[in-house]
Amino acid sequence: MRFLNLYWRTIKDRLLSWPTIAASVILYILLVIGIYPSFAGNPAFKAILESYPKAILSLLAGGGGGLTLLSPEGFFSIEFLQLWGMIIVAGFIMATATAIVAKEVDGHTMDLLLTQPIDRVEYLTARVAADLTMVLGLVVTIMGSAWTGTKLFDFPLKTDGLIAAGVLLFSLYVLMEAFCLLMGVVMERGRAVIVSVAALIASHLLNALADFNKTIEGWRWLSIFHYYQPGEALITGQVPWPVVLLFSSLAVVLFTAAVVIFREKDIPA
Amino acid sequence: MPVIETEGLTKYYGKSRGIESLDLAVNGGEIFGFLGPNGAGKTTTIRTLLGLINPTSGRATVFGLDIVSDSVAIRGRTGYIPGDTNFYPKMTGAETLAYFAAFRPKTPPVMRDDLVRRFDLDLSKRCKDYSRGNRQKLAIVLALMHDPDLLVLDEPTLGLDPIMQKEFYDLLNDFRHRGKTVLLSSHILSDVDKTCERVGIIKAGRLVAVENVSELESKKVHHISAMFSDSFEVREFSLPGVTVIRHNEHSLELKAKGEIDPVIKALAAHKIVDLDFEHASLEEVFLEFYGEAGE
């Protein structure tokens, strides 16, 4: 009962932001998929793309190896799954996950909640479960929009590829949720958001720049984007289970750390 | 058996002291006042008892349950009113009460409607539109609607107008008469006068005394300023517990500790043009009686 009360309250709180983001995602995906056929076979576009410095292409692809904007898988992966999908949905996750503890503490509403008969672990679990439900909804919306795009336009993506990339994407979002939650537990909300954004950008840059610098390349393993390669999943239709397992395990570790710290946390007056 | 019992309860925030070796016992069915100047450790004690902060050392029980390991069970039987409550700004009063009521499915909010009527609270407004007084009323309804066994109050009347303060203290007396227990923290002596049988006095994180309210009454300090149409001799006011602060031919300012009847009689021997009479602040009472104990 207490779990469900917290769960549904969290869902209700997101009833304005979630549909807005979902609608933006649908419209953006259909737009990019819709315009794809107009330039995919265009030799001029191919020439422009080939004239770009390798570093720029690598940055765009997030160090995505041999992906090219000229294939549907490469285009969808680079344009959305590694760029706009990351920015839009990661923004939602950062805003919501850091709010679970930090916003309630900063706004002094945590006092009210924790003077009710609510266990702190139950509180975190219910709120995270609600957020992940909404994130799962966004992943389904992303992949559903892409699948619809393949039916409406000349954009051949395999259904099993979309499912495999969706599983990978969701596992990455779960990891982000756990990281942002932990930041929200250990620091005030403004800082938690800044640290989360900085960590995401640093991770992207580390992976992208590793192609050009031997020293950085040695640290590439630290970047989540080194493991997150949705283009490959789109092409092969295979879920990269070792990566999904790695992201899930890291998420469990971060969530456990958040629980342990939150249980000991003093709620300031 | 005490409802609240602490033994050597200590809380440090890093190197700074919150409370130190606090030994306190609040009996069932009493309204226990918890007095002390700002920063003395009242709020730290309350927040520790409610599980909002973790003690550094020592132990405490509420209803015989450990405040750390049985905190959820304790909070299930406890209502809490802080001095200033922040609610979710977009929720209405009714939504707020419904949301929090759902956390206690086994104890329905039986007193909700009566309390709302008593405090004349409009539940259709969003919390962001409530004045401070109305937020405090909502906090009172929220804390009491489940008819808890223990009420923990931290400066509960801040923001309430005098009529609502009276209503609140009547409510506390009803509550006590039904065998419930109240821990009332305040730095306002008059709040405690009206309701409590016993008070604990905390200073610099330490409990310096537990007194019956009647004993505290006798220790009250009063400030008296009088202006006379005739002249007087200062020695007329050389009475036990009385200190003349300043005077001239027709006016007198003094501080009286304890019994004030002799002072009134001495004043009445002259024709009074103007008279100011006020209780000293609680802080002054502390300095007067417990100045050294908490240093």
Q: Say which CATH number the domain at B192 has.
A: 3.40.50.300
Query: CB distance A115–B104 less than 8 Å?
Result: no
- Model confidence at B141, in pLDDT bands (50, 70, 90)? very high
On whether residue B292 sits in a domain, the answer given is no
Predicted complex ipTM: 0.85
On whether residue B271 sits in a domain, the answer given is yes
pLDDT number for residue B293: 45
Nearest to B270 by CA among B243, B231, B235, B241: B231
Cβ neighbours of residue A267 closer than 8 Å, sequence gap 6 or more: A105, A110, A111, A114, B47, B52, B53
Indicate if B128 and B265 belong to the same structural domain: no
Query: CB distance B52–A264 less than 8 Å?
Result: no
* Min Cα separation B76/chain A (Å): 5
Phi, psi of B258, deg, nearest 5: 80, -135
Domain boundaries, chain A: 2-264
State the residue for tokens 């992906």. A67
Instruction: Kindly report, residue by residue over A208-235, the tens digit of the pLDDT.
Output: 888 778 888 889 899 999 999 898 899 9
Indicate whether B59 pLDDT > 50. yes
End-to-end CA distance of chain A: 28
Indicate whether B294 pLDDT > 50. no
State the residue for tokens 């209780």. B279
Residue pair A252/A182 in contact by the 8 Å Cβ criterion: no
Indicate if B270 and B230 belong to the same structural domain: yes
Nearest to A168 by CA among A160, A178, A179: A160
CATH number at residue B236: 3.30.70
Indicate if B196 and B266 belong to the same structural domain: no
Indicate if B170 and B262 belong to the same structural domain: no
On whether residue B295 sits in a domain, the answer given is no
3 state DSSP class of B79: strand
On whether residue B294 sits in a domain, the answer given is no
Indicate if B84 and B151 belong to the same structural domain: yes
Q: Which residues pair with B226 in a beta bridge?
A: B252, B275
Tell me how far apart the alpha carbons of residues B60 and B110 are, in angstroms, rounded to a whole number.
30
Indicate whether A129 pLDDT > 50. yes
Query: CB distance B87–A115 less than 8 Å?
Result: no
A175 CB-side CA count, 13 A: 22
Closest Cα in chain B to A261? B54
Indicate whether A1 pLDDT > 70. yes
Residue pair B101/B138 in contact by the 8 Å Cβ criterion: no
Query: CB distance B102–A5 less than 8 Å?
Result: yes
Model pTM score = 0.85
Which among B173, B197, B216 is the end of a domain?
B216
Closest Cα in chain A to B11? A266
Instruction: Kindly report, residue by residue over A166-206, the tens digit of the pLDDT.
Output: 999 999 999 999 999 999 999 999 999 999 999 999 998 89
Burial of B90 (0-12, 13-18, 19+ CB in 10 A): exposed
Q: What is the DSSP string of A214-231?
A: HHHHTTGGG-HHHH--HH
The better pLDDT of the pair A154, B89 is held by: B89
- Model confidence at A49, in pLDDT bands (50, 70, 90)? confident
Q: CB neighbours (10 Å) of residue B264?
A: 13
The better pLDDT of the pair A161, B190 is held by: A161
Collect all residues of chain B within an 8 Å Cβ-Cβ radius of residue A115.
Answer: 50, 52, 75, 78, 80
Q: Identify from B49, B86, B92, B152 which residue to disrupt to test chain A contact, counting A C-beta atoms within 10 A and taking the largest count.
A: B86
Q: Answer left, alpha or beta for residue B161, where phi above 0 means left and psi between -120 and 50 means alpha.
A: beta
How much is the average pLDDT of B177-197? 84
For residue B192 the two structure tokens come to: 């405690």
Domain count, chain B: 2
Q: Answer left, alpha or beta for residue B62, where phi above 0 means left and psi between -120 and 50 means alpha.
A: beta
Indicate if B131 and B253 belong to the same structural domain: no
Indicate if B201 and B140 belong to the same structural domain: yes
pLDDT number for residue B295: 40
On whether residue B293 sits in a domain, the answer given is no
pLDDT number for residue A249: 98
Q: CB neighbours (10 Å) of residue A228?
A: 26
Instruction: Kindly report, residue by residue over B148-179, the tens digit of the pLDDT.
Output: 999 999 988 888 888 888 899 899 999 999 99
Domain of residue B249, residue span: 221-279
Lowest mean pLDDT across A143-147, A187-191, B36-40 = B36-40
Burial of A133 (0-12, 13-18, 19+ CB in 10 A): middle
Tell me how far apart the alpha carbons of residues A230 and A244 are, in angstroms, rounded to a whole number.
11
Indicate if B15 and B125 belong to the same structural domain: yes
Indicate if B274 and B132 belong to the same structural domain: no
In the stretch 123-162 of chain B, residues with CB closer than 8 A to chain A read: 142
Nearest to A78 by CA among A165, A18, A151, A202: A165
Which among B194, B216, B238 is the end of a domain?
B216
Burial of B178 (0-12, 13-18, 19+ CB in 10 A): exposed
Q: Identify from A108, A116, A260, A261 which residue to disrupt to test chain B contact, counting B C-beta atoms within 10 A and taking the largest count.
A: A116
Indicate whether B80 pLDDT > 80. yes
Report the residue from B54, B87, B103 with minimal CB separation from A109.
B87
pLDDT number for residue A188: 94
Query: CB distance A118–B54 less than 8 Å?
Result: no
Q: What is the DSSP string of B266-278?
A: HHHTS-EEEEEEE
Query: CB distance B52–A114 less than 8 Å?
Result: yes
Residue pair B150/B3 in contact by the 8 Å Cβ criterion: yes
Indicate if B57 and B165 belong to the same structural domain: yes
Share above pLDDT 70 across residues of chain B, in percent, rounded to a whole number: 93
Instruction: Kindly report, residue by residue over B238-285, the tens digit of the pLDDT.
Output: 998 899 999 998 999 998 887 888 999 999 999 999 999 887 665 566
Single-letter code of the amino acid located at B247: H
Closest Cα in chain B to A111? B52
Collect all residues of chain A within an 8 Å Cβ-Cβ radius of residue B13.
Answer: 266
Query: CB distance B100–A112 less than 8 Å?
Result: yes
Closest Cα in chain A to B106? A1
Nearest to A267 by CA among B15, B96, B11, B137: B11
pLDDT number for residue B203: 86
Instruction: Kindly report, residue by residue over A66-88, the tens digit of the pLDDT.
Output: 667 778 888 888 888 888 888 89
Collect all residues of chain A within an 8 Å Cβ-Cβ radius of residue B82.
Answer: 111, 269
* Min Cα separation A15/chain B (Å): 13
Residue pair B46/B151 in contact by the 8 Å Cβ criterion: no
For residue B243 the two structure tokens come to: 């200190």
* Min Cα separation B78/chain A (Å): 8
Write down the H helix ranges in A14-158.
17-40, 43-51, 54-61, 72-76, 85-98, 104-106, 109-114, 120-152
Nearest to B263 by CA among B289, B240, B233: B240
pLDDT number for residue B115: 95
Closest Cα in chain A to B55? A266
* Min Cα separation B272/chain A (Å): 48
Q: Render the burial of B149-159: b for 16+ CB within 10 Å, e for the rest.
A: bbbbbbbbbbb
The contacts found for B106-112 with CB under 8 angstroms, 24 or more apart, are B106/B76, B107/B76, B107/B146, B107/B147, B107/B148, B108/B146, B109/B145, B109/B146, B110/B145, B110/B146, B110/B147, B111/B144, B111/B145, B111/B146, B111/B147, B112/B141, B112/B145
Which among B167, B190, B216 is the end of a domain?
B216
Nearest to A144 by CA among A14, A31, A30: A30
The better pLDDT of the pair B158, B188 is held by: B158
Indicate if B212 and B227 belong to the same structural domain: no
Tell me how far apart the alpha carbons of residues A163 and A233 are, in angstroms, rounded to a whole number.
9
Angle at Cα A131 formed by Cα A20 and Cα B126, nearest 5°? 70
On whether residue B52 sits in a domain, the answer given is yes
Indicate whether B24 pLDDT > 90. yes
Tell me how far apart the alpha carbons of residues B12 and A211 are, in angstroms, rounded to a whole number.
51
Collect all residues of chain A within an 8 Å Cβ-Cβ radius of residue B43.
Answer: 269
Tell me how far apart the alpha carbons of residues A22 and A89 are, in angstroms, rounded to a whole number.
9
On whether residue B150 sits in a domain, the answer given is yes
End-to-end CA distance of chain B: 32
Pairing assessment for the beta strands B221-228 and B181-186 based on DSSP bridges: unpaired
Report the residue from A111, A116, A266 with minimal CB separation from B103.
A116
Indicate if B158 and B261 belong to the same structural domain: no
Collect all residues of chain A within an 8 Å Cβ-Cβ radius of residue B86.
Answer: 107-109, 111-112
